[in-house]
Chain A
Amino acid sequence: MEEAESYPPIDPSNFDLIVIGTGLPESIVASAASAAGKTVLHLDSNPFYGSHSASLPLNDFIPFIQSESQPQSRNLTSDDYVSTPVATRPLYSAVETNSYSSEPTENSRKFNLDLAGPRVLLCSDSMIDLILKTGINQYMEFKSVDASFISSADGGLENVPDSRSAIFKNRGLSLTEKNQLMKFFKLVQRHLGDDETEDDKISDQDLESPFVEFLTKIGLSQKLKSIILYTIVLADYDQENLEACKDVISTKSGISRLALYHSSIGRFPNANGAIIYPIYGQGELPQAFCRRAAVKGCIYVLRMPVVAILNDKDSGEYKGIKLVSGQELFSPKLIIAPSFTIPSTPNHDAQVANSDDVSLSDTKKVARGICITKHSLNTQVANCLVFFPPRSLYLEQSTSVRVLQLSSNVAVCPSGMFVTYLSAMCDDNVQGKKLLNAAINALFSVPISGNSENSGASNLSEHAEEKPCLLWSTLYIQELTTFQGGLDSISKTPMPDEHLHYTDLLDATEKIFKEIYPNEEFFPSINVSNDDEGGGSELDS
């Protein structure tokens, strides 16, 4: 709507907490703080909610990930405080975009592309529990992800047998494999069951061992191990290569993830499987948390960049912020989004000050990609997950590539099109791109560059039966950051992580909250139905 409209000054100017950036962790903290009765001011320099967790129209997507802002020089000075300019640094790199058809960009506004895709929710996830607990389930609608596939040896896609009926229906498993897999699921169930005898429990020794070893021990075939490790338990790194694996999953952890998956199936009566996705994109989550925060009194100001941090002249303590409008606002605590850089201030210990100077070798990265097509990867399903376990695309592939296809029925693209997200952990840009390109080539037919639109059109009709043809694609590398707290009163939230789920991000967010408000409960339980539910009589639908 309006750009740089002169807002009325923000009133009051003192808050318990100021949060800069409306990414998901920031929104959750703002919401939790408001729920705990704190006065909160929540700002974002963007004209939209969600920051790095947002869902954007197509034409806004690339500009966002390529944006970075320089520290401002005007309006910096402050009378009473030391004013330190803030800036953002780019957390995305190696952005590569290919457009083979004008159709997507012509319908830009009908897209809601996740910046941090692919991402889904398991029905029994802690995020879902939080959504229910806070009541924001009333703001959102979800749809089931119809199926999960794993790439098979011959290059095709096979359904993941993740439940009893899926095992029964599956055409790719041998009869013995079906028997083994079901037996394994029952074994896990018995182990976790309350009233089972000691015999049913898995030994402690086994629990500590790597999951892959346990699976081998009980005699599961290679195929079954792959399915369990990479499509249900969602391991990133090659588990067979134990020395090189950066994240070996223990049996205990594997079993609890398996249990989480199974308890997700059937949790909600209308959900077909274990996995759901919010309609309109993952960007709905930050919006929902922000709304809840607003309901509890949090003040929201979009399009309001922060130009400087104000520190006390003597103690050097954080005191407040300065807006681009020149207004100064104060709070005892501050939360900032991950892309912010705060150059070290003179009175601070070098160590504590700028933890952004992290040695590069510790930097973890995730390669992300988005593809737009006109045909589904599988004619039977609209929304699905696809997994490429390590070594399935090429021998040196050391991490799993995850793919999520969504259709217009979750309102992320125009009718008739499909959006596919890809991601994989990587050490560097080259490796990351290689991983994603291998997956893209396996799934899609890439028009030869140079004949963009024409060939695109003719290709579409020819390849309708085979691999879907790309209309548009982008690849980029996102840096992963960790939560940094304890920088006095300033805490920095993490970037969206490399996982398909939100569990780790939620844990980190809760930790942030606990650090700044150790005595407050993280969303105290309230009556789930909103406080002031109307008094009207309700009819059965």
Chain B
Amino acid sequence: MHGRPRKAPTDEEQEASSNKAVKLRDLQSQVLQFHRNKIYTKEAIEISAKLLESNPEHYTGWNYRKLAVEHLLDHLPENGVDSESIQSILDEELRLVENALKRNFKSYGAWHHRKWILSKGHSSTDRELRLLSKFQKLDSRNFHAWNYRRFISALKKIPDEEELQYTTNMIYDNFSNYSAWHNRSVLLSNLLEKGGKGYDDRGTVLGEEYEFVRNALFTDPDDQSGWFYHLWLLEQTLQREPLFLSSWPPNGSTLCLSIDGYLNSQQSWPMLHFQSKARTFPLILYFSEAVEGVSSSTVTVESEYNAGGDLIWRPLSPKKFGFSQAWLTDLKFSDKVHSLESCPVKITVAHFPGIISSSGMPCSQSCHLSFTVCVPANDQERSEVQTAHRISLEEENFKALATQSEEAKLVHSLSKLEIEKVNRPTTCKQSLETISNEIAHCQELLSSTDCKIGKLTLARLWMARNTLITYGSTDDGTEVHYEDILALYRDLMKMDPVHICYYEDEYSLALWKQATSNLVSLLKHCYQYQETSSSPSMNPSLCVRLNGLSLSRIGSMEHLLWVQMLDLSHNKLRSIEGLETLQLLSCLNLSNNKICSFTALEPLKKLKSLQVLDISNNEIGAHSIDTRRYLCSSPLNHALVSEWHFDKFASDDVTLKDHWDAYLIFDDLNLIQLEIMGNAIVDDRLRSFLFKLMPSLKWIDGESKCD
């Protein structure tokens, strides 16, 4: 039982329990022997009954019994095989299960055994239902009983509507019952899917459910079971198809593909520059949620000069295999492209069905995007080696952008803040109405009750509403001010410090959206970076600065795919999942965050363009045992092992064993400049290891290799 204080057992209790243990061990070894030797005599079976009645958790005991039952059934005398004798054997098993359940109502083994017996088809399902009613009177929340109920209902083919009524009655009795609400959600999913009479209008059915659960929420806002059901209802309301949101290169741009990057003139719309010795550039597609099935059969790329062959699309995500919000492929342009010739490229996303979200919704609307690729004149490999300069990232080198400047316009176009509504499927008006309705009720409740889960729900509702409006083609409603959402999360952090990490993450997501989904606010975060000490011919770079915002996680990259320089310093980042999408990133500042292990930097492994990385003043190595070290892919993961190159190290080099996690991360990177001071783990050994690992690396913490 939960919530009861433990008391130290008395001496008598201890003695009694050790006696019990002795008896139990004895029984157990006997049963195991019978099992091994396949002994199924009456006495053996009785002993197994004794064991299971006192210890229903003994799995092998149940298995033994199943075998014994099979044995008995097989060995029934020829003329004695009738339903009655089968029945009595099975009834005996049922009786045993009942006794075992009296002992431990929640024994998986006992319940499973019962299911096994019932599946044989000879027992009365009516009796089972009566038994279930009895059990559920004693404890209406036992999930085993509910699970079993679902099993019996399926066997007995009780219509879902009837079962739904049963949950209604249970809830009327006492609405603080997760299992009843949960069962309701299972049944409703089925009913809505089948779409039978009375369940064909999803909106109406959900509306009634919202009304039903609202009574629970208002009557007792502190009772969580109603809120969980409400959350499920929201998920049903918000269910929509995944949308294709943005890409790089952006729609309508002209990409100048050059071998030599030096000739980069300042980027201005629509001219973008990309340097690649091999004349390949990445094509990134970004969706509204994680999807799978992006492949050359679902996405077509048409262009004259594509160096043939099917394209391989890779998901850009460290997590869920196969599902990702961002997908990448490399487009290679052959040498045959003459300078200044423009080559249009047309992409059709979801040309054929096959792109599906993780909740099973297909991306059915196909979208087009097109851009042009050209090659500059005199494009050849430079013979001189460029001297790279160390970037100092000093504050004085940043200059804010003027709103009407060229750069501002560039940002505007790059970030594609004008969403083409043509391509968007209509937002279900009903969904928006439902969400607005729920918002109103939630606010009503919060006006009289300070309830943390209510606040959380309101924040989620507001975010959902914004999403619906942003991605819908209807212009109803204005977006909710993100400030209100942020205020709610700050409240929650104070009210409910136990879950502060969760709230910080949600806060970060909302803040990120606020910063990046609106041109005005995005421009506030865009800066020109120019080294004062560098030569004037070095063009200023465009840097997005999201520093000092208490961010604990990375948000949506929808409008930031083009970013080359990103400043995330002075935040609270524990993880940088999401950064892997920024394929163009060459300079990243993560200093003064909360990163506590190298493995947290795993997303960086996909950033082939990264040259400058600042992870100084984090917490790497601060804890001798950092459990989050193991949250990332394990070094034993097959996918990684094949990528290990040990040739740079002697086989008995101790430092490799010590710095395996640094190895895993930095091996793939071609950094030129790295700042890592201010982390506990940093010492000279590590520095020399890193120099060894990355031949391109010139400076660590301002000190060059040669020092």
A168 touches B175 (CB 8 A): yes
Cα of A178 to Cα of B215 in the assembled complex, Å: 8
Query: Would you give the 0/1 interface string for B585-622, flagging 1 where the beta carbon is closer than 8 Å to chain A?
Result: 00000000000000000000000000000000000000
Cα of A99 to Cα of B216 in the assembled complex, Å: 48
Cα of A164 to Cα of B172 in the assembled complex, Å: 10
A165 contact set on B, CB distance < 8 A = 172-175
B449 touches A179 (CB 8 A): yes
A175 adjacent to chain B (CB < 8 Å):
yes
B72 adjacent to chain A (CB < 8 Å):
no
Count of A interface residues, CB-CB < 8 Å: 12
Q: Which residues 169-224 in A have Cβ within 8 Å of B in the complex?
A: 169, 175-176, 178-180, 182-183
Decide: A168 near B448, CB < 8 A? Known: A175-B441, A179-B221. no
Cα of A272 to Cα of B448 in the assembled complex, Å: 31
Cα of A180 to Cα of B444 in the assembled complex, Å: 12
A167 adjacent to chain B (CB < 8 Å):
yes
Cα of A175 to Cα of B449 in the assembled complex, Å: 12
Chain A, residue nearest B445 (CB): A179
A168 touches B444 (CB 8 A): no
B218 contact set on A, CB distance < 8 A = 175-176, 178-179
Size band of the B side of the interface? 10 to 19
Query: Would you give the 0/1 interface string for B483-494, flagging 1 where the beta carbon is closer than 8 Å to chain A?
Result: 000000000000
CB distance from A457 to the nearest CB of B (A): 38
A178 touches B448 (CB 8 A): no
Cα of A179 to Cα of B215 in the assembled complex, Å: 9
A183 contact set on B, CB distance < 8 A = 448-449
Contact partner of A168 (CB less than 8 A), chosen from B172, B441, B445, is B172
Decide: A176 near B444, CB < 8 A? Known: A165-B175, A168-B175. yes
Q: Which residues 177-233 in B have Cβ within 8 Å of A in the complex?
A: 214-216, 218-221
Contact partner of A182 (CB less than 8 A), chosen from B174, B220, B441, B444, is B220
Decide: A179 near B448, CB < 8 A? Known: A164-B220, A167-B219, A168-B219. yes
Query: Would you give the 0/1 interface string for B444-477, flagging 1 where the beta carbon is closer than 8 Å to chain A?
Result: 1100110000000000000000000000000000
Looking at chain B's contact residues, the main secondary structure is helix
B220 contact set on A, CB distance < 8 A = 164, 182
B215 touches A180 (CB 8 A): no
B219 touches A164 (CB 8 A): yes
A175 touches B444 (CB 8 A): yes
B173 contact set on A, CB distance < 8 A = 165
Q: Which of A167, A179, A180, A183 has the most CB of B within 10 A?
A: A179
B444 contact set on A, CB distance < 8 A = 175-176
Q: Which residues 150-174 in A have Cβ within 8 Å of B in the complex?
A: 164-165, 167-169
B215 contact set on A, CB distance < 8 A = 168-169, 175, 178
CB distance from B189 to the nearest CB of A (A): 24
A169 touches B172 (CB 8 A): yes
CB distance from A168 to the nearest CB of B (A): 5
CB distance from B283 to the nearest CB of A (A): 52
B172 touches A180 (CB 8 A): no
Cα of A183 to Cα of B215 in the assembled complex, Å: 14
Cα of A465 to Cα of B191 in the assembled complex, Å: 35
A168 touches B216 (CB 8 A): yes
Chain A, residue nearest B212 (CB): A168
Q: Which residues 483-540 in B have Cβ within 8 Å of A in the complex?
A: none
A179 contact set on B, CB distance < 8 A = 218-219, 221, 445, 448-449
CB distance from A107 to the nearest CB of B (A): 36
Chain B, residue nearest A170 (CB): B215
A168 contact set on B, CB distance < 8 A = 172, 175, 215-216, 219
A175 touches B448 (CB 8 A): no
Cα of A537 to Cα of B7 in the assembled complex, Å: 37
Cα of A504 to Cα of B441 in the assembled complex, Å: 45
Cα of A392 to Cα of B653 in the assembled complex, Å: 93
Cα of A7 to Cα of B72 in the assembled complex, Å: 76
A182 touches B448 (CB 8 A): no
Cα of A175 to Cα of B174 in the assembled complex, Å: 18
15 example contacts (A-B, Cβ-Cβ < 8 A) are as follows A164-B220, A165-B173, A165-B175, A167-B219, A168-B219, A175-B214, A175-B218, A175-B441, A175-B444, A176-B218, A176-B444, A178-B215, A178-B218, A179-B221, A182-B220
Given contacts A168-B219, A178-B215, 9 further A-B contacts (CB under 8 A): A164-B219, A165-B172, A165-B173, A165-B175, A168-B175, A178-B218, A182-B220, A183-B448, A183-B449
Give me the interface of A with B, judged by CB distance under 8 Å: 164-165, 167-169, 175-176, 178-180, 182-183
Closest 10 A/B residue pairs (Cβ): A175-B218, A179-B218, A178-B219, A178-B218, A168-B219, A167-B219, A182-B219, A168-B175, A168-B215, A169-B172
